[in-house]
Structure 1
């Protein structure tokens, strides 16, 4: 669901908009100072969507099909890399079984609940060997508001449709316009998807492209009556690291537009197995050799292995 954060400030040009936007940015201490990975080449972002629902009313929870739990995990994790190579968008399955510093092995999405952004970024850096340069997050309601501020996005549902009572997804095959609630249901569905969470991360990347296309379209970019509300809603939905400013976000948006235009590549961390671990449940184990090749290419800012990109 956090895919919307990649396109904030897509039209953030002009002195007024630039400084106005900078004044609205919410920041957090996202990185710890100890034991961080060695800096690589190019730029790496960690984009997350949290499943926080503590600020939702009972009616909002019902409408969004998110239940009433008070836990705080990460529903979406993506790494964006760009530099001499890329841009690349790499999905990290939320059930990835990794070591969480100080807490043993667990699903990677538990790191945020255990220690917030700092522990999550430290966990991702340790698991991937990448030193993250920037961090951004958005929650359920922020996601919905941003899609609605764009007037919805066009999504093509694959053959067979998508029906999942847990997320609220009920879509026949074919292309359609989705509002924020529908888009959230689409990217959260996994129980009826034969690929489970791996199918969901593909839909998340699909939504990235759809949002980038809409946000960079002439009706949004050239119309201040649409552009400003979109930017305002996006900024209100975002929390970024303290080193991220307006110009940095503009650069990220431009790179994501390249992805939506077909440049670079998107992929998921290579998977070896999906076992069940006692006390943890169903997890995803990475293919260590292939994952090392992928993250090594990102670290060196060279073309990533093409096998399995999608």
Structure 2
């Protein structure tokens, strides 16, 4: 991991997360790449009814993308169709009615919530960590699981938590594909704000050995041996380094809350680089990035493709993107960790999101704004 120059890397983007990569060729990028590339890319992105609607019905009733919008982004580990998918990263993007800003907040994966019932799997509802919702909704009844179907229950759970009246778009990103996007861009330059040791990988990027007695995943920390380390500073990271860094939470002072901040910082750095001239004006690199993104994503635009969304959000600019940190705490019962709970003020925040009045809320609660915004 080579140290970069001391000049701070740009930390802004058009939208957010993986969606930032989807949109990187749109708006300004569209002036360079043209309609042929846009059409080819839109066709390469897999689309499924993640939000529970029917593709044909959604397309038939789709109107112009106008007014306040809410987008749900979910990151999952690569798994076979016989394994239960878990949402390792849950991000909500709120676009206000003016459609010239973006507010991004992460929902803690261990947040204890009420998960609603789900007829498709016979799940009767219950209280659990929110990242289990995708698993409860994914079962197909034949021993196989469909993350897209699980996304629907997760979306309903997040809606119930936040009071958001339905999401306008949804995205699933496969973390294995995420790494390929970064590698296709030639790595990503980002600021690391605290020293982090990898739970999973060695300094050379290979997996750390696992203790044999923990092969059945009964140990919380089953790995041993040398660890990859990420030091405070600004670095140019390879795909495996970037993905490894933003997934770490063990050993961090604020655990998953630190990880959420790192993910949001990486989101900005990645999308900023994707929008840079080194990618946009380099046809070979651009084609690799588009292909990698197309292979890594599943998208539901409620009747609109990624090109429609890109042009609808063309006025979202660098300085109008704000990342949010939700305050929370660990829940301990009888000496055992049960999960996370949000502070009471989060209810006011969610109400401000659903009523599209976040600027006023953030003015009165500046502690919700991440310092990097």
The residue aligned with 2:190 is: 155
Deviations 1:138-162 (A, max 9, x none): 1121111111111110122224x21
Separation in 1, partners of 2:367, 2:242 = 29
What CA RMSD, in Å, does the superposition of the two structures yield over aligned residues? 2.5
Q: 1:268 to 1:188 in 2, by over 3 A?
A: same
User: Is 203-212 or 164-173 further displaced after alignment?
Assistant: 164-173
**CA contact under 8 A between 1:90 and 1:269: conserved in structure 2?**
yes
1:17 aligns with 2:34: no
Q: For 1:276 and 1:23, locate their aligned partners in 2 and report how far apart those are by CA, in whole Å.
A: 48
* Greater radius of gyration (CA): 2
Structure 2 distance, partners of 1:167, 1:254, is 38
Alignment size in residue pairs: 283
Q: 2: distance between equivalents of 1:121 and 1:204?
A: 20
Query: Using a 3 Å threshold, how does the CA distance of structure 1 residues 92 and 254 change in structure 2: closer, same or farther?
Result: farther
User: What is the deviation of 1:249?
Assistant: 4.2
Partner deviation per Cα, 1:101-145 (whole Å, 9 max, x = no partner)? 122111111001110011011101111011211100111211111
Stretches of structure 1 that go unaligned for 5 or more consecutive residues are 34-39, 56-68
* Contact 2:112 2:340 (8 Å CA) reproduced: yes
SS class of match (2:74): strand
Counterpart of 2:21?
Answer: 7
Q: Which residue of 1 aligns with 2:348?
A: 293
Mark the CA change 1:268 to 1:254 in structure 2 (over 3 Å): closer, same or farther. farther
Superposition TM-score, scaled by structure 2 size: 0.70
1:211–1:254 distance in 2 versus 1, CA, 3 Å: farther
Q: Structure 2, unaligned stretches of length 5 or more?
A: 1-15, 54-65, 118-124, 138-149, 203-227
2:52 corresponds to 1:28 = no
Q: Please list every run of at least 4 consecutive aligned residues from structure 1 whose deviation after the TM superposition is greater than 6 angstroms.
A: none
Change (3 A) 1:97 1:72: same
What SS does the corresponding residue of 1:155 show, helix, strand or coil? strand
Q: Separation in 1 of the partners of 2:84 and 2:231?
A: 32
Trace 1:219-238 onto structure 2 (pairs within 5 A). Answer: 219-238=278-297
